[in-house]
Structure formats: structure tokens, C-alpha cells
A = this chain, B = another copy of it.
């Protein structure tokens, strides 16, 4: 174990991000202090600046790892899901909601950073990648004839809004707890009704 006696930490950048996320989770975003992070990692108070120009830069990077992990979870969940649109949507919903509840503060960070006019390009790209991944689900469903036709943005926006809204509400503890657990099935059913093909008698 590197007993912190070494001048060079080894991977301070990663360590900072990890510890920062713990702090974020445990004590909220306002309690996150660069100096405290440094202390926790046994490093001088200015060391973090070598890896993050700014406190904001650290937060950006943190949000970025959030999107990466969200993408990852989502992909994994979809990989295991069946082929039908219903199954895939349910898998996606579960992945998103699970992530949101397990990383409430992080999710908040991921989206609140967008308010900043000069948000890092990487971050915006990551966010859009994530959005597109979800919208792809819809396109897929359309190809299978299980989702009504129409431009992707129009059809997908409702679905994406619903998923995001539910996840956000769950994360911010704004849902009655009993609903949250078992409500996913109902939510998916609602989504499916919302984007079902115009002529209901398409699928067997």
C-alpha cells in the first residue's frame, strides 16, 4: 500500500474523483471542499489544482463520470433485456431509476451543470450521448412497429421526459415511497400507452 510517503501519489486524479463522489453522496455538494479532499488523501492543499484547474472543473469531471456510468448501466441492462419494446423500455427505466436513486446527488450535479453557459463541451456531449441512447430505444421500437410513427424528437420526447421525471422525482425523494418501488411497471405501461401505434391492432 502506498503509505502516502511517496511524493507522487500515483493516481491522485482518480482518487480525488472517487473521494469527491463519496463526500458528495454523504454530505452534499456544498460540503465538498478541495482542501478537505486533499487532506483526506494525505496530500497538500494545492495538489488538486494540478489535476483540476478549478473546483468547477472537478465537478464537471465528476458529472462526466456519472454520465459514463449511466451509459454503461443502461447498456448492460439493455443487453440482458428481451427484444420487445416493452421489455427494453422496462429495462431502461429500471436502469435509470436505479441509477438515480443510488446516485441522487450526482444526478443532480449532472443536470444542474447544464445551467452554466460555459459548461464543458465534453459534458454536453456526454449528456447528448445519453439522450440519444435513450431515444434510440424509441427508434428501435418504431422499426419493430411497436411504437407510433413520427419524427423521433416528437415521439421520443414524451418518453424521455417521463423517464427523466420519474427518476428525478425518485432521486429527490419527492415520490411516496410505496409508489416508487412497485410503480415502475405501472410507469412503463403508461409509457407504452403513450407511444403505442395509432392502430392498436398491429401486433398479434
Q: Which residues of A contact B (CB under 8 A)?
A: 28, 30, 56, 104-105, 108, 111-112, 114-116, 127, 131, 153-154, 157-166, 168-169, 172-176, 178-179, 183, 186-187, 190-191, 193-196
Distance to closest chain B CB from A100 (angstroms): 11
Binding site of A, secondary structure by majority: helix, strand, loop or mixed? helix
Contact B108 A172 (CB under 8 A): no
| Complex contacts, A105 vs chain B, CB 8 Å | 115
Interface centre among A112, A164, A165, A169 (most CB of B within 10 A): A165
Which of B115, B162, B172, B194 is in CB contact (< 8 Å) with A165?
B162
| 23 contacts across the A-B interface (CB closer than 8 A) | A105-B115, A108-B108, A108-B115, A111-B172, A127-B174, A153-B176, A154-B179, A154-B183, A157-B166, A157-B187, A158-B166, A160-B165, A161-B163, A161-B165, A161-B169, A162-B194, A164-B165, A164-B169, A165-B168, A168-B168, A190-B194, A193-B195, A194-B194
